[in-house]
Every structure is written in structure tokens, then in C-alpha cells.
Amino acid sequence: MANKVIPTINIAALFDANSRPGHALATTDLAVFEAATTLGFMAITGLPHEADIDASAKQTLTTLFNLSADEQRRLWKRNFEPDNPNLYRGWFPLHSGPTLSREGFEIGPDVIRSLPNPTGDVLLEPTPLPSDAVIPQFRTVAGRYYAAMETIGAALLASLSRGLGIAPALFRDAFTEGISTLRLLRYIPRHDLPISDVLKTTRGAHVDTGMLTLLAPVNGALGLEVEVKQGNWLRVPAEEGTLVVNFGGLLERWTGGLIKATRHGVGAVDSERFSIPFFMEPSPDTLITPLPLTGIPPFKPFLFGDHLWATTTQFTENWGLSHLRPHQSDYEDPLQRVSGQSSSEPVY
């Protein structure tokens, strides 16, 4: 049933070096646009750089969770280990959340390019990474994985630009110096949780607050469920060689509701589970204004960096840090003011 509702789209035409307007590209664009404007979820195949995002690459990345306690602590965020310099990037341990059910590690674009940071913006801080002596080739594998995700995300945004009928530069320029996040997650089995009774149903049900999320299954396990209509949850297919794509509340807001952000979450699992979501995020200084589309409801322009910090500091692993980065514009939450929904912590 899930496969009939959640479309699987071969997007190979988006990466054809000789691509020009034609049947294959137009058909792919139409399928992507239909998925984005109806369910807000899709699975994609026909991906470039397959060797950079295959099972072997994901195995190397999740090896991070095998580090000794001492090695892990060196990578913890500063709010968990005050002697560490990193605050936005890095490791959040199991005790970072009330359910004690997950830990994670967040990687930024410095894994593939330098990030000039003359103002000391916390959103541009470097990622603490394990050395090759600790995990051989970790940085190389993470960099290739990150670059592949950026390429795929950029192609999807270009496709959506064509579907919306807007200039490709509107999205392309915003993400040229983007600060997307590659997140590595480990969930412990439900029966090992000290408060497992609260996790009998889909946990962390939420709408993403951001733009676009690319999610890869690890070891054939995804666990993600989508609310296709109120109270009706369907399991998302998880197959090697595919990515699951969903769209966030900010992209829904930016497009005047044309692109849909759909509630989703993780069903209770009885075994250890890994997940690797990639969150497409533009440059912090990107000014978000209503797109040039007919009927777009007006909203107060704001800088993306202000929105990102305002939402991520509502997540348990960053709770209480909002004062450490003052807004750089006159920011008002564009999602809460319009929909009445407060930001919710993403669970994958």
C-alpha cells in the first residue's frame, strides 16, 4: 500500500550532461512537482555518485558510533563537554534527550570546502572530526557523501524551479554557499529504553521546519512513517540505492503552500537502528522573501540563519543556547505566525 501512495521516481534525467528541454526531463520534472505539491514525500532512484553513498560508505560513517567513550567525548558539543570548542556541529550524546533513545553527530560543509567566518557566526563553525588514525578515511568518505547529497539536492531544487516557473537562480544562488547538515543518528532498541512506554506509537511526529531533506536507508532499515491523512500512517519503503525526499515547512511557506510539508515520524523499533538524513540549508545570509508567484501570501522577510538558529535551539540537544547567537535581522517565526505550529524536533 505504501508503494502505491509514496511515489518512487527515477531522476536520472536531472543529471544528463546533455540534458535540454525534452520528454525525459519534462516527465521527471512533472513527477517531482506532483509529489512535492501533493503528498510532500517521494523516493528517488537514478542517483549520481552511487559509490559515494552506497552501503559501504554508510557503514564507514556509522562506524563513528563504535568509538570508545573517551573518543566520543572529544567530539561532544560544548553544552555537554564544556572544554570542547564546538557548539553547533559535533556529537550530541544519548542523555541529550528526555527519551534517552538516540545520539547523533552533525557534519557541516567544511568537510568539503572552507568556511570563511569573519564575524564568528556559530552556524559557520568547523566540524570536529575523528582522525584517520581513529577511523580510517572517515573525512574522505564523509566529504564525498556530503558532496553527492548537495548535487542531488541542487538538482531537485532546479527541477522544482522549473515546476514553479521561477528563475533557477533564486534557489541556486541561495544554496551556492549553503550550510547543509549531514546528520548521523543511532537509535537504541525500544526494549533497552528506560521509559519505553512512551514510545509505543510513532515517535517524534513532526513537520520539518526547513527546506528539503534527503534520507538514506541504512542496512535496509528506515522506520520512517508518513501521515498520508489524519491518523493514517504508512511506512516509507527502504531500499538500498534509493533516497527518501521530503519537504519542510519553510519551503512550504516560501512557495505559498504549493509545496507540501507532511507530518512524519519513526515507528517504535526493536533493534538498533541507524539513520543518515541530509538537510538542505542555504547560506545564513540568504534573505527569505515571498517568491514571485501569483497568490503568494505576504510575510515579513528574514535571514535564513536567524530562522535556523531559532528552530534548532528548540531541539533538546541545543536547548538553552538561543542567546548565544542574536538575530541579525528583525526576525519573526514565519511558520508559527501563519500556521500556529511551533517548531518540532526532527526524528529520523
Q: Is residue 130 part of a domain?
A: yes
Q: Is residue 344 part of a domain?
A: no
- Give the tens place of pLDDT for each residue, 196-209: 444 444 456 778 87
Mean pLDDT (the chain) is: 87
Residue type, 229: K
Question: C-alpha cell of 346?
Answer: 526532527
Q: Is residue 155 part of a domain?
A: yes
Q: Is residue 263 part of a domain?
A: yes
CA 13 → CA 10, 22, 150, 342, distances in Å?
Answer: 8, 10, 17, 37
Q: In this prediction, what percent of the chain has a pLDDT beyond 90? A: 62
Q: What is the mean pLDDT of residues 108-136?
A: 95
Q: Is the pTM of this model over 0.75?
A: yes
Question: C-alpha cell of 190?
Answer: 525500544
Number of structural domains, the chain? 1
Question: C-alpha cell of 58?
Answer: 554508510
CATH no. for residue 141? 2.60.120.330
Q: Is residue 102 part of a domain?
A: yes
Range of the domain at 269: 2-339
**Predicted pLDDT at 348:** 58
Q: Is residue 96 part of a domain?
A: yes
Question: C-alpha cell of 181?
Answer: 547538515
Q: Is residue 348 part of a domain?
A: no
In this predicted structure, the answer to whether residue 212 has a pLDDT above a threshold of 90 is yes
